């Protein structure tokens, strides 16, 4: 499910500089992580609005953080136990993310064409970003890989087995449309349609 928001995903923290290195020190509510893990196993996820995350924060990123973490301290052993569980990507979550991309991406790209005649590059760019983001989530789910946020996610998705050849370059190329001319916007959407069709075809196999 994607109800549109579930509150801030940051429970506290700070931006630090440690020995000259920038460190994000972020608190997480472990009870919430446990709850979200249960939801992931049932194929449910939510997407929340958070500054700095234009695609939104997917709730299963909480679980991915635990799965991919290098645990420095865990006196009770709770984190290590949860990490062992989360090493296996839940099949219901995989199916839910793929199914969502397969219907929303073509829909989003088709609706985006309504902005071509008026040269609405803003709306079309947002639609392209949304479509690529959904494809990235689906490709990671198909491979059973956790994705934590948008940064570097397109490049990482392009290295996954189901990604079409040159996925990352083609996806990034969608955002280099010059100006607001309808024909240029149409060409970008045509390219996006082609890329989406290839990805969705691979996800269905």
Question: What pLDDT, in 10s, does the model give residues 146-160?
Answer: 999 999 999 999 999
CA distance linking residue 72 with residue 83, whole number of Å:
13
| Sequence spans of domains, the chain | 13-86, 91-204
103-to-97, 161, 186, 196 alpha-carbon distances in Å: 10, 21, 21, 11
Residue in 125, 111, 130 with CA at minimum distance from that of residue 173: 125
Per-residue pLDDT band at 50 (split at 50, 70, 90) = confident
- Beta-bridge mates of residue 13: 26
Per-residue pLDDT band at 9 (split at 50, 70, 90) = low
pTM: 0.91
């Amino acid at each position: 499910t994607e109800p549109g928001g579930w509150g801030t995903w940051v429970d506290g923290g700070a931006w630090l500089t440690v020995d000259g290195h920038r460190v994000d020190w972020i608190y997480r509510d472990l009870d919430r992580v446990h709850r979200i893990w249960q939801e992931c196993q049932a194929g449910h996820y939510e997407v929340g609005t958070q500054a700095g995350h234009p695609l939104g924060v997917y709730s299963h990123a909480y679980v991915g953080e635990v799965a991919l973490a290098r645990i420095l301290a865990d006196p009770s052993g709770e984190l290590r136990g949860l990490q062992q569980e989360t090493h296996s990507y839940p099949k219901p979550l995989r199916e839910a993310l793929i199914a969502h991309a397969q219907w929303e991406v073509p829909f989003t790209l088709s609706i985006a064409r309504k902005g071509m005649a008026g040269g609405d590059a803003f709306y079309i760019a947002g639609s392209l970003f949304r479509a690529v983001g959904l494809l990235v989530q689906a490709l990671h789910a198909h491979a059973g890989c956790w994705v934590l946020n948008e940064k570097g996610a397109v490049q990482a998705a392009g290295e996954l087995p189901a990604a079409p050849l040159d996925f990352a370059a083609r996806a990034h190329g969608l955002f280099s449309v010059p100006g607001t001319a309808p024909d240029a916007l149409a060409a970008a959407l045509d390219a996006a349609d082609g890329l989406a069709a290839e990805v969705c075809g691979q996800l269905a196999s």
